[in-house]
Chains A and B, each alone.
Chain A
Amino acid sequence: MNNSPENPQAKITVRDLTMAYDSFVVMRDLNFEVAEKDIFIIMGGSGCGKSTLLRHLIGLLEPAQGNVFYGNENFTAAGPLERVKFIRRFGVMYQSGALWSSMTLAENIAMPLEENTELAPKAIRDLVSYKLSLVGLSGYEDYYPAQISGGMNKRAGIARAMALDPDILFLDEPGAGLDPLSSRRLDDLILRLRDSLGSTVVIVTHELSSIFAIANNSIFLDTATRTQGAVGNPTELRDHSENPAVRLFLRRGEKSEPPSIPMS
C-alpha cells in the first residue's frame, strides 16, 4: 500500500483513484498532480465525472480505491478530525451555487468569517462588500439568493468560496451562465487571486477560451475509456496530445486546424 505521494512538493497528488457510486464505476485509475499555484482544469464531456472528481478531492465522497494527498499528507486515510484541518484551507463553489437560501448574500459570506475568525463586525462587513465587489455584486448585500438571477447566484457562490482567502479554491463550472464580460472578469479574478494570495485553483469548466487563457495544467476525463485521457497544459494537449479525443475536445470537434484563440 503506498502511503506517500511520489512528489511531496505537489500541492495535490491523486494516486490510482477509482471513483464509483456503489457498483457503478465512474472513472478508474486517475493519476495526476497539481502543483502549488497551479490553475488546474478538470475537463471532459457532460456526465463524465468532473463534479464527482471534485467531490472526491474535497472529501465529500470516498474513493473506491486509491488515495488523495495534500502535500505529503494522506487525505483519504485521515480521520474526520484530521480532515477538518485540510478542509479549513479549502474554498468550494458548487455547480448549483448552493447558497444558503435563508440567508442574505452578505450573511452567506459573513458566516464563515464569523465562525472561523476573530474579526470585528466592521471588518467583516468590509470584507463581505469587498468580496461581493470582486464578483461585481456590490450593492446586493441584503438580497436573498432567490431574489437574484442564476448567474448572480453563481458569482455570489464564488464570493462565498473566497471568503476565507482559501489556500486551494475549487470551482465547479464557475463560468457557466455568465455573460462574456463577467466570464472574462472571472478569469482575471482567478489569475489575480493566484498571484496575490498564492492560492491554488482547481476548476471544472468547458469554456475553451477561459481554459486557454488561465490554465497551466489540466486533466481530461475520457468517457469512452472511463479513465483519464490526458494530463498537461491544455494548449500543448490541443496541439500535441496523442489522444485524438483530447485534441477533438479542445478544438470543439474540428478535426484539423486549431481554432484561433485571441491572445489576451
Chain B
Amino acid sequence: MSAVPVIEVRGLRKTYGERVVLDDVSLTVGVGDVVCLIGSSGSGKSTLLRCLDLLEQIDDGVIELDGREISDPLVDPREVRRSIGMVFQAYNLFPHLSVLDNCTLAPRKVHGRSRSEAEATARDLLVRFGLGEHVDQHPDRLSGGQQQRAALVRALCTSPRLLLLDEITAALDPELVGEVLDIVRELAYGGTTMVLATHEMAFAREVATRVCFLDGGRIVESGPPDQVLFDPEHQRTREFLRRVLPQ
C-alpha cells in the first residue's frame, strides 16, 4: 500500500434540484487499485464517476487526487482531467472524426504530442484491441462493442494515471467481455488505477481489488470482492445480489 491514495473521496454529496443522487459517499482508491462500483440502475454509479472527473459540480464533500484537493473551485478542472481517462456508458465517440482521429485528438491538442507519435501510439493500442482494420473508419460504421473498445483506446492514449470506466462491458457479447477483461487485467498489472461501474458480477469478482455496493446514492457496503459478493453483511446487498447473481 502506498501512503498517498490516488483518489480520496470524503462525504461527497450531489443533488439535482431537490433530488439527492449521492449522499455522504466516501471512497479511497490506492495506487493500482481496481474498484468496482455495483448497484441497481439509478443508484448513482455514473454520477459518482462524473463527479470524480469534475464533470459535475458537487454539493458537499472533498475529492482529492494524489493528496491534493481537486474539488476546490480554484483548481483548473482541465489540468485534473489531463491525468484521468474516462469511458462513458454511451461511448460518446466524435462522429465526425475517424477512429484514429478520435484517439489522437487529445494527445495532440492537449498533451502536445506530434501527429506521428500520437498516431503510432493509437495504432498500436487499436491493433491490440482488435480494431486494426477499423482505424480509418468513422465510429458510426462500427458495432457497439467495437465502438466501446475504440472509446477505451481513446481514453488510454493519454496514458492516464486513473481510468474511470462506466459499464464498458454492457454492450459486449460474452466472448468480447472476456477479451476486454484481459485487457483491463493487463492494465491493472501495468499499474493503472481504475474505478469502474459495472453490472457484470463475474467481471467485478475477477478484476476488482475492492467492490463497493451503492444503493440510493450511498455506499452501503465495500470490501474485497469475495466478501461483498459472497458473504455480504447488509440486507440490501443480499437482496441485490440475489436478483443479479445466477443461483
The answer on A and B forming one complex is no
B contact set with A: CB distance below 8 Å:
none
Residues of A whose CB lies within 8 Å of any CB of B are none
